[in-house]
Amino acid sequence: MILVLLGPPGAGKGTQANLLETDRSLVKLSTGDMLRAAVAAGTELGRKAGDIMERGALVQDDIVIGLIAERLDRGGEGEGFILDGFPRTIAQAEALDRLLAERGETLNAVVEMQVDDDALVKRIIGRFTCANCGEGYHDDFKTPKVPGVCDRCGSKEFVRRRDDNEEVVRSRLEAYHAQTKPLINYYAKQGKLKSVDGMAEIGEVRRAIGRALDGSA
């Protein structure tokens, strides 16, 4: 199964992608995570992408399409992939259709997570992740059960993203509205779009996605 999670920054795509890995034995592919790894490793690609990411703009299509193509070629250990943060433009969506067709695959569903813009800034600014396993947390909505210790792996190191500050978040939201939102119509026309209320609590969104994928919503 190949799924796309679509929604603005802060909609909860990463959180739900992590849960889908467990629920459906899928492997998460996040272009944001891949780009951040390239920046941290100081590769040429990381140097090209780093400034753009710090401004909250979108990295060039050919760069992210290349990352996804390479990753699809390596295959997965699970039952398929969840794409988190890709595609983000019509050109990327068209490239994805092509890449999958070349590999004899097809996109099964696109889950759109609907969230109010006003809530997004608050959601993004409070978030942090475990530096070791990537489990996501939030200052207000989801703190570790034992303060300072990751629930999943026990690590005591946490990180916050450099682009999770108010000014950059506003640019990321603008990029979403201008460049990514047209994908909703693109996938609706293909009959693949399923929309869920991303404002609900994490467990409820997880169940709504499950129902949408099983065709019972």
What is the binding site for ligand AMP (CB under 6 A)? 9, 31-32, 35, 52-53, 56-59, 64, 85-86, 88, 92, 163, 172
User: In angstroms, what is the minimal distance from the CB of 146 to ligand AMP?
Assistant: 27
142 is catalytic: no
User: In angstroms, what is the minimal distance from the CB of 132 to ligand AMP?
Assistant: 18
161 is catalytic: yes
Closest CB to ligand AMP among 160 and 207? 160
127 is catalytic: yes
Extract long-range pairs of 152-161: CB within 8 Å, 24+ residues apart: 155/130, 155/131, 157/130, 157/131, 157/132, 158/128, 158/129, 158/130, 158/131, 159/128, 159/129, 159/131, 160/127, 160/128, 160/129, 161/36, 161/127
Q: Are 121 and 106 in contact (CB under 8 A)?
A: no
Q: Give the CB-nearest residue to ligand AMP.
A: 32
User: In angstroms, what is the minimal distance from the CB of 28 to ligand AMP?
Assistant: 11
**What are the residues facing 4 on neighbouring strands?**
83, 110
**What are the residues facing 170 on neighbouring strands?**
none
Distance (Å, whole) CA 196 – CA 159:
29
172 is catalytic: yes
User: In angstroms, what is the minimal distance from the CB of 84 to ligand AMP?
Assistant: 7
Closest CB to ligand AMP among 15 and 31? 31
189 is catalytic: no
The residues annotated as belonging to the active site are: 13, 88, 127, 161, 172
